[in-house]
Chain A
Amino acid sequence: MDKVIEFENISKEYSGFSIKNIDLNINKGYITGFVGANGSGKSTTIKMIMNLVKPDSGEVNIFEMNHNNDEKDIKQKIGFVYDDNIYYEGLNLRDLHKIVAPAYKNWDKKAFQHYIETFDLPLNQPIKYFSKGMRMKASLVLALSHNPELLIMDEPTAGLDPVFRKELLNILQEIMMNENKTIFFSTHITSDLEKIADYIVFIKDGEIIFNHSINSLQNEFALVKGDRSLIDRDTEDEFDYINYKGEYFEAMTQNPKVIYEVFGDEVSIDNISLEEIMYFLNGAD
């Protein structure tokens, strides 16, 4: 499978936080969701993809190119959406268009017009009067109108109401319908991912915990519930995390088969939601 983003042994040290020897591969043609708690390294990772942050060591390859040699060629192929406001508040979309469009060789005015109409955005109103949802749409218009092969988004759904989140997810699905596009986006709203993501990358304290397809995730993780008395020092080791609730326990396992062999029908083994996986992996108890 073609890789669009490749991180090889990437490290970055900040005071009080570090990214530790990350390897990361993002496949071409899929939507990959990037999840993790606040401060786990999502934004830093995204900034390294965009060359906004330079790693202390390791190699970042985008489209098999390197920012040191081909920064402009790489960025020609990327559309970006950030959760903080990077566009000048006092300007309207017409002026922002004049600023952003000339940067790209493949800028498509018709596509720009099309998205403006589809998203129902005013061209002459300064964006400081835009709602959070409208700003997100405006960022998307500016990110999509040069027909990027890779769309990078940092927390695009943060602070959006459910109706608009759904709309955004539909838009992303539409983008994926045509051609070989790749979307990589960070979020902490896991229900968004279950709807549209093909792959999930989970980061915790600057380390990639897993990078799985959403289907294999369902096969590899399971939620186990049963009587507390079943858990002793030996059986405890079969689980990644255990929560006790009165007479019962609730645990996550990465070996559903083994659990079934050990406990048989004495416990219930169920599908686990992404939210629960994140909850257990973040060690919240």
Chain B
Amino acid sequence: MLPSAVTEDLRRVVGREAVIDAANDLRIFERDGSIEGAVPDAVVLASTTQQVADVIKIAARNKIPIVPRGAGTGLSGGAVTIKGGIALQVTRMRRILEIDTVAQTALVEPGVVNKELSVVAAQHGLFYAPDPSSQNACTIGGNAAENSGGPHCLYYGVTTNHVLGMEVVLADGSVHWVNGDTPDRIGLDLCGVLVGSEGTLCAITKIKVKLLRIPPSVATLLAAFPSIETASQAVSAVIGNAIVPAALEMMDSVTVGAVEAHYHAGYPTDAGAVLLVEVDGIEESTRELMAAIGKILSSNQGYGLREAQTPGERELLWAGRKGAIGALGRIKPNYYLHDGVVPRSRLPQVLSAVGEIGEHYKLPVANVFHAGDGNLHPNILFDMRDKQVMPQVESAGEEMLRAVVELGGTLSGEHGIGLEKNAFMPWIYGPDDLDAMHRVKDALDPDAMLNPGKVFPDPTSERVVHLAGRTGLAVEAKWW
């Protein structure tokens, strides 16, 4: 609970009904899309940059943690108030302020829903490229904070490649613009530091993003494979042939079963794994590329190749892929997933390790991932109502991540480090690296009031890292 004087100050800034402090209501805000939760002391809804700045000033004066929150669809606990404090909700800041069709940019408030921007931009023949699977609900502000990816980021790049500039509020409540209208950055790339800082360096109040021209032609191909290994080989073969599709996604048979149950998109439920490949561009090139890809997939044991014939069919295939994680609820009520990344060539190895770990803990695992990027999403499926299972789930997750790191990979491709993976940061970074990051954090937020307990290993956390072992693994790894 906040002191009542603070609550009153907050109410004066944002209005009476925009501060929620009823204890039982606050419980509803304890989680995001991940599994760990913590109850905030207050939820504050800001509608303007000024309000965000004023709320942060009040919090700074009273040393209250601030955790910016969008739609709460994040998968690493980024919006969870693990140290209590104020959940600063930006979901009412959902105006698209400007679309510049000549410069091909958009200026948006942080609460704008990702898909909404693409739908509006489509009226001008444009689209916003990063497309997280939660794009129907997640916000651009959250995307920028987490540096989100998505299926099409294989070709188009992740959020940071599309943010031109941002208006941000720092820990002292001051408002600043970093970078701006032009893509050429001079001097230090401050915007690059802030995108992906997971709310630990600033609150984002406006975002200027690039829009791209909608490609005149798109082709989407579905292919079945006898096993995950053969599908992984096919992925390597496609990229090895110097073809970078717009998206290259894989799902295993567990995932396909759950997805088919809801979407009826025509995914083959008897396959060991399926690949979804998309290419875009001018029609001549997509046709040529698709033919080449088809040949490569077939010669790598791919079968049942089916190209989407209509936009509706294509949409359905994508709806199935993007709803995949939610669809897993049909198997078990809870999922726990890490999104580690390995060099593509290591996919078969890491997937067999993931399978073994799942078997060892007797936990079902569903794989759905951005195969082209080597970005895994092994979903450990369980029922939270079974209290015994939680430690098993966490250990299994940890071991999977460890396998990723030992194969020369890293902790996260797009979900962020947040609360779930900060304890593992020393696997990747040595003390010097972490110290350098800490110094950036201290320069911008000396009192550590912005999203505390995230990204950096938390010395006060009671969480035990079972596989502590050596640090700085990625730096030392000799796999290359």
Are A and B genuine complex partners?
Answer: no
